[in-house]
Amino acid sequence: MRNEQATALLFELSRPGRRAVRFAAPDVAVQTTELLPEWALADKPPPLPEVSESDVVRHFTNLSARNMSVDSHFYPLGSCTMKYNPKRNERLASLPGFSQVHPYQPDSTVQGLLACLFELQEMLAEISGLPGVSLQPAAGAHGELTALLVAAAYFRHRGERRTKVLSPDSAHGTNPASARMAGFTAVTVRSTPSGFVDLDDLRRQLDGQVAVLMITNPNTLGLFDPHIRTIADLVHDVGGLVYLDGANMNAVLGITRPADCGADMMHFNPHKTFSGPHGGGGPGAGPICVRSDLEPFLPVPVVARRNGHYFLDYHRPESIGRVRAFFGNVGVLLRAYCYLLTHGPDGLRKVAENAVLNANYLLARLKRLLACPQGDRCMHEFVLTAEPLRRRGLKQPARDIAKRLLDYGFHAPTVYFPLTVPEALMIEPTETESKETLDAFADALEKILQEPLDLLQEAPHSTPISRPDEVQAARNPKLRWTPD
């Protein structure tokens, strides 16, 4: 029998007079109006739920048990690299010397913290092959925007006015969005049926107005473009810059450097590549790396070192200015720093090799169940299509499969992206999953595809809410509880 109390809202559990703690009456006269002006005092208490401590504890414990996370479930989100987050990095980033500092402290009092951030800058420069690093951006998309603002400043400094940013049709949606926000016109470059950039279409789009080509490599289909150096050379021939979307760096860590492929700028996603906390609307980071002649335009401050002393360098006259408060999201950056120190150069290469191995093993198991339009090999992720299942009567088979996987205890993969693949299921197992987990996922998908249609079309069957109206929820969100 379902426990209704376990699914109730705190407001529904509320009863007048219930408290977690009751304080004794004050033994001195309360003179509220002398402490606060009368206009600042509410006429009555805020309408918060009145519940006991056990109600609160059970409510949030039950909510957490409903959550799917990488700590409790396999989370094969393609293009998101939802790999296990080492708890040691959490503890290290929470040490008092890191977590208790104040951003307005003098540089001389936070030398240890600044030394860590400086070393992180050097590590990212080495991994990318790009010497200029800013830790300020607050997320991957913010890193894209920051790098494009750096590119705009670079061209202004050269007396050039360039208006266009190119990106392939399989790119992350943040690429054209960042281009528009940075003041450029976003232009799409077609892909070939095999999933790579169409070189002929790229040549047609290139001219003296192109500022930047934004490209993900390996791309969102999980393919390393064999023409990446040719692509970069074509862009450089018209005076443009190449920006690498670093979302898929988990596939190439320690194996190849973006700069060696012709990239002039890039961002890292520490929460993907270096296994920090991911998602949930929480804090993030998106450090960027740029080639040396773009370095003067990086945001201020940059962590610098002079005569063995670390400091925040604000004296950068050509800088685009601040893009975020203080140093950046230090907690996330420190987790990345610990992750990099743990693995070292050889360990990072093994991360990529195992990520690619896991993806290809899972692809080998699943391609006999669902077609992989782009072939039999992949890098760290791959994209299947559920389009043939339409013939069985499923209107949205990718969504139906994703929903049914919840009943088997697996988070769904990314669905309906990239847009170039109909009924796409984009799967990234990462290097942290075992063969047993991958086999269990493949077995579950095989069972699902043999089930009656009504089980798929009405799934999930094990969750408190089955299929909310997502369009209605996005357009008319209910943000405030009101009693019936």
Specify the pLDDT at position 481: 61
Q: Is the pLDDT of residue 1 over 50?
A: no
The token duo for 268 is 């890292």
Integer angstrom CA distances of residue 111 from 97, 118, 340, 350, 464: 10, 10, 20, 32, 50
Specify the pLDDT at position 416: 95
**Who's near 35: CB < 8 A, 6+ residues apart?**
none
CA distance 253 to 244: 14
CA distance 71 to 1: 28
Q: How much is the average pLDDT of 380-392? A: 95
CB 212 within 8 A of CB 149: no
Fold match flag (87-343 vs 347-473): no
> Above pLDDT 90, what percent of the chain?
78
What average pLDDT does the chain have? 93
Q: Is the pLDDT of residue 126 over 70?
A: yes
Residue ranges covered by each domain of the chain: 4-66, 87-343, 347-473
Q: How much is the average pLDDT of 210-220? A: 97
Q: How much is the average pLDDT of 390-417? A: 95
CA distance 160 to 156: 6
Q: Is the pLDDT of residue 484 over 60?
A: no
Q: How much is the average pLDDT of 202-214? A: 98
**Who's near 371: CB < 8 A, 6+ residues apart?**
384, 385, 387, 388
What counts of helices (H) and strands (E) characterise the chain? 17, 12
Q: How much is the average pLDDT of 110-115? A: 97
**Who's near 83: CB < 8 A, 6+ residues apart?**
70, 250, 272, 275, 430, 431, 432, 433
Dihedral sign (CA 128, 130, 136, 137): negative
The CATH fold of domain 347-473: Aspartate Aminotransferase, domain 1 (3.90.1150)
CA distance 369 to 389: 11
- Residue closest to 418 by CA, chosen among 379, 368, 381, 454: 381
Confidence band, pLDDT 50/70/90 cuts, at residue 326: confident
Average the pLDDT over each of 31-35, 145-149, 343-347 and give the range with the smallest value: 31-35
pTM: 0.90
Which three-class secondary structure string do you get for 13-29? HCCCCCCCCCCCCCCCC
Confidence band, pLDDT 50/70/90 cuts, at residue 280: low
CA distance 248 to 381: 9
Cis amide leading into 460 (omega within 30): yes
Domain 87-343: top CATH class: alpha beta
CB 214 within 8 A of CB 186: no
| Phi, then psi, of 442 in degrees rounded to 5 | -65, -40
- Residue closest to 299 by CA, chosen among 318, 320, 317: 320
Dihedral sign (CA 289, 315, 335, 307): positive
CA distance 174 to 180: 10
CB 476 within 8 A of CB 468: no
Q: Is the pLDDT of residue 7 over 60?
A: yes
| Phi, then psi, of 424 in degrees rounded to 5 | -75, 140
User: Rounded to 5 degrees, what angle do the CA atoms 350, 351, 354 make?
Assistant: 80
Average the pLDDT over each of 1-5, 184-188, 275-279, 347-351 and give the range with the smallest value: 1-5
Specify the pLDDT at position 382: 97
CB 259 within 8 A of CB 291: yes
Q: Is the pLDDT of residue 281 over 60?
A: no
Q: How much is the average pLDDT of 306-327? A: 95
Integer angstrom CA distances of residue 172 from 175, 249, 388: 6, 14, 25
CA distance 355 to 360: 9
The token duo for 39 is 């206009």
The token duo for 355 is 């990520």
Integer angstrom CA distances of residue 337 from 28, 213, 234, 317, 332: 52, 29, 35, 29, 9
Angle between helices 140-157 and 174-181 (to 10 degrees): 40
